[in-house]
Structure 1
Amino acid sequence: MVGLEELAVQVRELAELQVSLAGKMAELEKRIEQTPPVQGEGTQMNAVEEDASRMNEILNSLSALDSRIGALENASHTRGGGDDTKLNEIAVRVTGIESLRGVTQKLENEIDSVKSSIQTLSQQGRSLEEALSTKTVKKLAERRIDDVAAEVKKRNLEAIVVFENENASIRQRSEDAVAVQVKQFQELYATVQRKLDSSIDTFRRQTQDALESFKSTTNTTRAQTDDTFVQLQKEVREAVTKSEEAISAIKQRSDQSFADSIARSEEKVAQKIRHFEESFAETQRKVRDSSASIEDRILSELKRESEKLRAGVLENLIDVRDRLNRVETLEENLENKMDAKLNEASSTFANLFDRSSKILKEEIYGEFANELAESRAAIDKLKNAVALEQEEFDALNAELEKLKHEMAVVMAKKRVDEEDMMRSLEVLEKRLSA
């Protein structure tokens, strides 16, 4: 009888546990249905861990309960045999024992029903756990992939913005440096021009003083030397022309300084290009740290654009340097020719002056006339030579202007290449954004 009472108590506990398990399963299903599709990663992982721990507790409870039921069943059969013996012994004395056997059979049937219900609930819990795990992991993986893609895209956009800012800063600094160089050259040219003007004024004053001295000297000579005096005045004017040519040579030297300034500007531009390449390499490193797949596309596009721009700039610089070398050669040749002509003219003038003085002293008017004709012929020849040199100088100036124009075209082409590169970067940015 005591064994039957214990069995009845265990059956009641099993029924209560079954009801509690069914309530927990219903609550778990309700929570899964009410779970929003988008949650934070940490909250959803905590919920999954809590549900998994609860399922483990339920399964452990079911396993323990199943073990207890098996033990009770074995004890029930063992004790049942003893009770049957006792009941057979007491059958004569006790009535209603058959009702106890019916109760025992009923309890055994109820135990079997509870075991089947427990197995069904276990299967439902496992299937529910698998569905919950699959659904949650899939959603978490998709969200994680979206977050990683958004982060990579954000870093790439930030790297592109940094690259554009550095490129704009480099271009602004280059323009400022060129403007400073142009301003310095203008100041230098103005200084040289002032010095040239001062030298011209000094030379003119000296020439005027010499002319006045020559006039005072010739006024004491005979009236027949008037023609010679006029000729000497022409010679003096020719000397003034030669001095102006010398001034032109000085201006050519100032143009040489301008060419040197251009060479220095080219060197600074090369330095800016190297700085740009270093900044570009740094940007490549940043972009490579952010994304390997996008790095290949960006680096290939930027490398092609950089090589194209660098090749164009180097080609233009080489062309400008060659043209400047040709101009320098022409200027040196012209300067040598001008020096030779000036020396020849100076010696001719000195010879003519000596001859004229000698003729005036000896008062040989016939020979004086012949020498005067020769002097005029020599002066005409010198004028023709000076005219030819002036034409060569004009041609050289035209060539220099042409070179300046071509250099302006080269700089404009460089700006166009920079604009093309910026447009290419914008296209790349749009592709990345898309």
Structure 2
Amino acid sequence: MASLRAAHRARRAGTFRLALLGTGAAVCTAALLAGCSSGSGTPEGGKTKITVGAFGDFGYHDLYAEYERQHPDIDIVERLKAFEDHHTSLTAHLATGQGAADIEAIETGFIARFKARPQHFVNFLDHGVDNANDQWLPWKWDQSLSVDGKSQIGLGTDVGGLAMCYRPDLFEKAGLPTDRNAVARLWPDWNGYFEAGARYTARAPAGTAWFDAGSNVFNARIGQLPLAYYDASNRLIVDSNPAVREVWDQVTAAVEDGQSAELAPFTNDWNIAFQKSRFATITCPSWMTAFIQDQAKSSAGKWDVTTVPGDSGNWGGSFLTVPKQGKHIDEAVDLARWLTAPEQESTIFKKSGNLPSRPALYKEPAIKNLRKPFFNDAPVGKIFTSSALKLKPQPQGPKTGEIMVAFVNGMARVEQGSESPQAAWNTVMADIEHAAR
């Protein structure tokens, strides 16, 4: 394992900025951005062009085509950017009053920042949208609702109900149980998960590690805490919250024990690691299943899904918003409502794995009983919906997204060996203090 760690560090010297995702299936990398970006929302060829700004594959491409068939006067063009760049650009567009897409996706970690500026967005309450009958999960609805309750800036797309994806064949080679129920009993909590990781590491098949990246484990664990970076009064508590430091210490200890493959999530090396079976487990919000299927096509049937330590949690999820600066407000509102309607969210879950924000769908047999042959016929519908329903929502603050990125980069420095866990923690705290100014 020491040689594996050395090889990773040699390839990955220096700090990097991750394209950290909270939803969707594939990042639009820098090399592809020219092809992902598009023009303005002006009518062309007798059609009204509606632009959609996003940061990953939300599973909408077939739905765009369907909507255009139903509305022959509409032409939908998607503009993709990397995760952090997308939200930074949106902030700039709102400040200057120009450049935003007609519809802009916003990830959970950034929604608090933008809902504090409701004057920049269309209020969906003015367009007949409400949550009187809990059409959306109540906590999901509240995440994009202004503090005074008078403006709803976003319609929930998906939530990141947590599970654990794993490789039974690698488990068997390391002497661990392979049945998903038996595997779940290995880790009723995270102590059990890391203990199982120590057992795996002791007998690991050559070239493999227990998990893919410390930052992915860290984010999943943080998503389970009742309070993480902010308290209920929107006060930043990350530096004084012992639970966050406990998670950091536990994950960095596992990294130093050789349990991590030390990969940078959502990069080419990470993608190739799926193909080469480089790790045995990955913390798995529902949207992660699409990544695995896309990157590990030759491993169909070799993956499985079981419950995550702690049995529930959320990592990620997004919203569709309509900036007021757009030229086609009514058309954009109509499209956003259609994309987040139950029929479309159901279609996306069955095809791409993005778990709907609408709890009524969780009772439908097509969702609740969904199984995925790629994942050894795992009952993904039951696992992910159960996780989402058990979730206790966590307060999100205006800098949650930036804090996530700071911790991802800090964990990377630990995995690269450029900083000790304590030194990396100190740097992360300094980065957060700077971002919070």
The TM-score bracket by the shorter chain reads under 0.3
Which structure shows the bigger proportion of residues in strand conformation?
2
Which structure shows the bigger proportion of residues in helix conformation?
1
Higher relative contact order (CA 8 A, sep 6+): 2
The alignment's TM-score, normalised by the length of structure 2, stands at: 0.18
